[in-house]
Amino acid sequence: METITVLAEGKKEKYEELFPQLQALAGDERDLIANMANISAALKATFPVFSWVGFYRMQKGELVLGPFQGKVACVRIKIGNGVCGTAAKERRTIIVPDVDGFPGHIACDPDSRSEIVVPLTSSGHLLGVLDVDSDKLNSFDQIDRFYLEKIAEMILQEIYQSNTED
């Protein structure tokens, strides 16, 4: 599978149409980086309000930029810094309606206005985060949380775990 087609118009419906396509896209591919790249591209293409979609991978005690779609990004983020570092430290999804109101927000993209970050954890170990930004305020809600967490779980179960079998 090399194309993603989402015809739905509502946010929830778009996620529901996209999710099985992401599963099919990633299902036969065992390379984690390739799958992260395609998932980033598919999310950004499906949701025009997403200005940046990507992954930071846990490497030697810090988050290091992984596959993404969007403007050039910060390469390294310390655990506990910014939205990504805080989500990683607390191992919980964080939704920020206005990034200017988040203490310590790291402005990799000065046009970013809202953000959601989902930690990728397996057996208590932090593997990274899925980070999504928007250039509009209040772009993310519980629908995004639910489906992005579901995508993160799919990444961990179907992609990361198959990688460890090599």
pTM (2 d.p.): 0.93
Beta strands in 5-148 (DSSP E): 50-59, 62-69, 76-78, 94-96, 114-122, 125-134
pLDDT value at 156 more than 60: yes
The CA-atom distances, in angstroms, between 157 and each of 30, 39, 166 are 12, 15, 15
Counting every residue written for the chain, the total comes to: 166
With bands split at pLDDT 50, 70 and 90, how would you rate the model's confidence at 1? low
Q: Which CATH number fits domain 11-163: 3.30.230.10, 3.40.30.10, 2.60.40.10, 3.30.450.40?
A: 3.30.450.40
| The two three-digit tokens of residue 123, written as one number | 């057996």
pLDDT value at 165 more than 60: no
Pairing, β 76-78 against β 94-96: unpaired
Residue-wise pLDDT tens digits, 85-142: 999 999 999 999 999 999 888 888 888 999 999 999 988 889 999 999 999 999 999 9
Enter the DSSP assignment of 108: S
Q: Who's near 103: CB < 8 A, 6+ residues apart?
A: none
| The two three-digit tokens of residue 91, written as one number | 């191992």
